[in-house]
Structure 1
Amino acid sequence: MILLPSLASLTAAAPLAIDMYVPAFPDMVSTLETTSSGVQLSMTAFLAGLVLGQFLLGPVSDTLGRRRLLLGGTALFALFSLLCALSPTVHFLIGARFLQGAAGACGAVLARAVIVDWYRGPSVARYFSTLAMITGVAPVAAPLLGAVILLFAPWQAVFVVLAVVGLAQCATVWWRVPESLPPEDRNPGGLKDSFRAMGTLLRTRAFVGYAVALSCAAAALFAYVSGSSFVFQIVYGMSPLGYGVVFAVNAISMTAAAALFGALSQRVRLNTLLMTALSVSFLATLGHVVIDLGTGGNVITTWVCLVLTIAGMGMAFPAIMTIGQGVAGHSAGSASALLGGGQFLLGAVAAPIVGVFGESSGTPMAVIMLVALSCAVLALAVLARPWRGHGEHSRG
């Protein structure tokens, strides 16, 4: 079906915008006459806009529908990407990146909502696994794509490419994505009731449990992304190419696990898959910490543990998304906003913490990941109580 690839492409914008300009940081410091922390703040601004945009666009779409917001959001993403390319100062860039993140949120949050609008039953899990696969591949491809662009053009070209991506997505929505939420199915109480629905979800114990578990697992993933390059290149002395191979293999394990979830979800209870996946991630990270504390660790054991941890997340993320949307019922936009926004909110907080503990050991990254995954397991056990079968779809 054409609709699913179109929706999957919408989820790629944010991961591309996060990572594609990272290879250009040194050039940007020079061109904008700023510091490395100034340029890095532009990424924080993007993540802040991405979180806020999801929290706003989700409930608004439950009242106004999905298509108009998708058209406007993708067009604005293109515009703000172009403003980033034209930034004369780092302060202008930071502001433009915040707006770019807010606009980029539309693709992520509304693609999930459209899937819930159009599909029912076990097929929803398979479609969410496809989105998870795209989300897993995009961060790996983004820095490589950015590096290739920089071989032939200055850093501004990266944002021009992102503007083209936004325009292409806008055209895709125009031609391939019809309105999935007809007026009769929208929230009749308007925006006030849509935001009230979000409040209701935040008072729903099971939904909060799944949302917190997802956010904490995402915090562990962001800690890995921000700390793994230091661990493998500085602590273990790998080359940048060697680290690229490690990162790519880990990403492939995440993508494969998401695909496996899509296949198994037709035959196995979603909550069973979730508990299994999160247990694998938790136990692998626990083993990572124990080995590091006991022997100091080595590149092989660290890599093996991380492959298992990231694979577990690859299955856990689409499982929680599917179950969370099932628990939310008709408030698909609000649920998507809370689930997606929470991911990036805690992820953005966790990412810089790894660097606080220095670059002389891989243990801090492993410990931070273990703390985050422990919180995810606790949220699942205490709040969500997955053994009760929340959000399961009939297979009959």
Structure 2
Amino acid sequence: MTSVADPAVQTDQLHLTAPVVAPRALSDTFVGSKYVQLVLVLGLLSAIGPLTVDMYLPALPELTTQLHATDAQAQTTITGLLIGLGLGQLVIGPLSDAVGRRKPLLMGLAGHGLMSVLCAIAPSITMLTVTRSLQGVAGAAVAVVAMAIVRDLFTGIRAAQLLSRLVLVMGVAPILAPSLGSALLKVTSWHGIFIVLAAAAALLLALAFFALPETLPSWRRRSARPVESLKAYASMFSDKMFVVMVVVAGLMFATIFAYVSGSPFILQHLYGLNPQQFGLAFGGNAFGMIVATQINPVLVQRFGPVKVLTAAVVGSALMALTLVLTTSTGFGGMAGFMVPLWFLVALAGLSFPNAPAIALNRHGEAAGTAAALLGSAQFLIGGLTAPLVGVLDNGTPVPMAGIMLATTGISAVLLLATRRRLSAFSFDD
């Protein structure tokens, strides 16, 4: 039992404005085939983000040449998108708590489709950067609403289980996206890739309109005034355990960002893999992460999200330490690099369903705002960490391994230092 004297508990209790049984009554309708439908719809919605980021990567050289841009200017189209995704969530999260989930979601998908068309016809790299940034803002609506819907319907263990299913769909998207982009370039140009994204947004708009009901009833909605949104953010920053979960989620996301940004150069330049061999190695690591997230529902059912998350993060830190040792000494060669990296990526993947489930469980009364903070922290911390791999590059895997040790190590210290307070809260549905 948790003591009522705990400030975090008092904060949670003060936020609750209505009995918690109503959302559970809605969740009871999502069983059997309807639950599968919910997972597929939310998974497809969540996949639009990775597809938007990664599908046009193979077209960057062609795009750079045609728009008479430099490599650095072309990279700003990625940066702009990530900034839009991060900052857009901070605005759209509270908005979805005020007006419900469907309106921001449908408007976000419509905006994504429109911006995709404008990207396709952009006459300059500057205009493309602007439209990509706005495309990110529209995509932010999809990302934050999908996460908030999970919390509207489920809490604790069931939320972690549903998020594990979504990670399966979301995990496949960034793996397939570059290959899909390369295939499209055989029959079209970079313009055509954005037309395909526009068509995907239109299809998802129709799917969400007909297959996804409103999950936030009117009696649970909050004021749309900016001052109320600021108060909601302030209340979350005053919840130390929520802040810990946000930081842990961001750092573990940064761990994967460091791997994604550093591994292409390490595996191809240092270990001499060709693009096809690199694809197999990259896919093998992604497969490990997906497998880990799919056994997560069984793990959280038996041990709970807090214990699973703590064990996974500590295990990731140990694997990162092993990676630093093998890469700095050259022990094992490529195997000394790949084996600990495989376990590190797989264990890190266990944080993606569990950290958000724990964080959102504490602020169900403002799930959109909470999801916005989580998403923004992931993109902000991950986006700031990834360039460090290039800045610190010395021709070896050690800088990447060191960054991954730092992100997982800090996360492990935070969780171990707060495990008693986190474990005091019940995550049972």
Identify the residue that residue 19 of structure 1 maps to in structure 2: 54
Q: In 2, are the aligned partners of 1:270 and 1:392 still within 8 Å (CA)?
A: no
Aligned counterparts, 1:318-329, within 5 A: 318-329=353-364
Q: Distance in 2 between matches of 1:130 and 1:4?
A: 7
Following superposition, the deviation at residue 236 of structure 1 comes to: 0.6
Q: Distance in 2 between matches of 1:227 and 1:104?
A: 26
- 1:163 aligns to what SS in structure 2? helix
Aligned counterparts, 1:1-396, within 5 A: 1=34, 2-120=37-155, 122-188=157-223, 190-295=225-330, 298-358=333-393, 360-382=395-417, 384-385=418-419, 388-389=422-423, 392-394=426-428
User: Per the alignment, do residues 386 and 310 of structure 1 end up closer, same or farther by CA in structure 2, a change over 3 Å counting?
Assistant: farther
Identity of aligned residues (%): 36
Q: Distance in 1 between matches of 2:425 and 2:66?
A: 51
Q: Distance in 2 between matches of 1:340 and 1:109?
A: 7
- 1:187 aligns to what SS in structure 2? coil
TM-score by length of 2: 0.89
Identify the residue that residue 18 of structure 2 maps to in structure 1: none
Q: Distance in 1 between matches of 2:222 and 2:58?
A: 44
The letter for the 1-side match of 2:247 is V
Q: In 2, are the aligned partners of 1:63 and 1:191 still within 8 Å (CA)?
A: no
TM-score by length of 1: 0.96
- 1:351 aligns to what SS in structure 2? helix
The letter for the 2-side match of 1:236 is Y
Following superposition, the deviation at residue 390 of structure 1 comes to: 5.7
Q: In 2, are the aligned partners of 1:323 and 1:392 still within 8 Å (CA)?
A: no
Q: In 2, are the aligned partners of 1:74 and 1:166 still within 8 Å (CA)?
A: yes
Following superposition, the deviation at residue 4 of structure 1 comes to: 2.2
C-alpha distance after superposition, 1:103-147 (max 9, x if no partner): 001111111111111224532111011122222211111101100
Following superposition, the deviation at residue 191 of structure 1 comes to: 4.5
Q: Distance in 2 between matches of 1:390 and 1:52?
A: 33
Q: Distance in 2 between matches of 1:129 and 1:272?
A: 16
Q: In 2, are the aligned partners of 1:327 and 1:391 still within 8 Å (CA)?
A: no
C-alpha distance after superposition, 1:41-77 (max 9, x if no partner): 1000000000011111111111111100000000000
The alignment yields a C-alpha RMSD, in angstroms, of 1.5
Q: Distance in 2 between matches of 1:379 and 1:58?
A: 26
The letter for the 1-side match of 2:194 is F
Following superposition, the deviation at residue 156 of structure 1 comes to: 0.8
How many residues are aligned here?
A: 394
Q: In 1, are the aligned partners of 2:306 and 2:419 still within 8 Å (CA)?
A: no
User: Per the alignment, do residues 51 and 189 of structure 1 end up closer, same or farther by CA in structure 2, a change over 3 Å counting?
Assistant: closer
User: Per the alignment, do residues 390 and 7 of structure 1 end up closer, same or farther by CA in structure 2, a change over 3 Å counting?
Assistant: farther
Tell me whether 294-303 or 149-158 shows the greater mean CA deviation: 294-303
Structure 2's unaligned 5+ residue stretches are 1-33
Following superposition, the deviation at residue 324 of structure 1 comes to: 0.6
